[in-house]
Homo-oligomer: A and B are copies of this chain.
Amino acid sequence: MPPSIECTPVTGSCPAQTFHARDLTITRSMALKPFTDPRTMTGSTTDHMLKVTWSNSTGWGVPEIVPYAPLALDPTATVLHYANECFEGMKAYRNKRTGKIQVFRPDLNAKRLNMSADRIALPSFDNDEFVALLCAFVAVEERWLAWSGNSTILEYDENDFLYLRPMMIGTTPRLGLAKPNDAMFLIIATKFSSWHTRPLRLLASSPEESVRAWPGGFGFAKVGANYGPTLQYQTRAVSLGYDQVLWLFDVEKRYVTEAGGANFFVVWRTEDGGVELVTAPLETGTVLDGVTRRSVIELVRERLPEVSVTERQFTVGEIVAAVDSRRIIEAFACGTAYFIAPVAEIGISGRDVTIPLKVEGKSGEYARTIRRWLEEIMYGEIDHAWGVAVN
């Protein structure tokens, strides 16, 4: 990480290149929010938020955990005009054996948020300090994953989790379009109860009409600019009875990229009889380097050597061909929010193509297996380096 502006270390006037967890101050809320049944608490934010401000001249300030509250932003703040915003999606879980709270591969989110921030000219920070602040914040919000005995919830579900949203926004009050001189890093959290959605119905997009991302663009970065512009097409897909858009790229080739805001995998039998797990590659810059995506690839490569795991450009035509020749095995979307979400059907050029769901009509077998592997790690049923205790 190069310094963002010239500085003179000798005089001590260097802007701070990162925030430091050792500087963290905590002001606890005097009015904790009442719990309600987490299964109905879709999106209730927790009691606190973590906040650090940055300016181009002084660098990162002191991180503070304060009671959750609205942000006061000048109407000219760059984030409201020029989409200087990036974020991460993560989850915190109660380890089912130790009772400690843990997060999943936070180092990968730290790296990706730095990469996203760079793509939209927001400042960088140290990855380890990010992880340390995240853990400190989750520890403060521990009561939201109440352990039996301490809980004021009538029915505590051991599969509850906190959805964590680290985010960075440009806050300079200036309409002139330029790299922001001021920014804010925040971590907020919402409480959810684990849910199993019904298998997804996807609508393959028409690349003539709408394209999510482009080489040389920013589809690989978790920036706000990738999301708002998808809602027009997404709204249309929902009105047609689908859950999410399967985003295609290239009017002629019709490459499969992402499903909604999630990565997308297909399992099929290849022409030569092998089993292939395929997903779009990162090199085109049009799909997100998902933490769940990467974990799926690594686990399957490690534990299912008979499956060939391939990151390559593949087309919606290949899916249709695999369905028609009965080589299709299953398909699923994956991401932090959707976890491992089996796909039941894909609308392709007016035809609804059925994807097998061999496990009780709810999931494919690979999706079910991979989901269990990940749950075991996330909820600490087994010891694994990817599960990182917060305290």
Contacts and interface: CB of A to CB of B under 8 A. Distances in A.
Interface of A: 42-43, 45, 49, 68, 70-76, 78-85, 87, 118-121, 163, 165, 167, 169-170, 173-179, 186, 188, 190, 207-211, 214-218, 223-232, 234-235, 260-261
29 contacts: A42-B176, A71-B72, A76-B165, A76-B188, A78-B228, A79-B79, A80-B167, A81-B87, A81-B224, A82-B224, A82-B227, A82-B228, A82-B231, A83-B229, A84-B228, A84-B231, A85-B228, A120-B229, A120-B231, A120-B232, A121-B228, A163-B175, A177-B227, A177-B234, A179-B234, A179-B235, A208-B216, A214-B217, A218-B229
Nearest to A45: B76
Nearest to A187: B75
A73 B72 CA distance: 6
A201 to B, nearest CB: 16
A120 B229 CA distance: 5
Contact of A119 (B76, B163, B229, B234): B229
B81 A75 contact: no
Contacts of A179: 231, 234-235
Contacts of A177: 227, 230-231, 234, 260-261
Contacts of A170: 228
A73 B76 contact: no
A43 B75 contact: no
Given A223-B228, A225-B225, A43 B176 contact: yes
Given A211-B217, A227-B177, A235-B121, A70 B74 contact: yes
Contacts of A230: 177
Contact of A118 (B118, B176, B227, B232): B232
Contacts of A209: 216
A165 to B, nearest CB: 6
Contact of A210 (B76, B81, B87, B216): B216
Nearest to A217: B211
Given A70-B75, A80-B224, 17 more contacts: A45-B173, A71-B72, A71-B74, A71-B80, A72-B72, A76-B188, A82-B224, A84-B228, A177-B231, A209-B216, A210-B216, A211-B216, A211-B217, A217-B217, A217-B229, A224-B228, A225-B228
Contacts of A186: 75
A253 B43 CA distance: 47
Contacts of A210: 216
A43 to B, nearest CB: 6
A207 B217 CA distance: 9
A81 B227 contact: yes
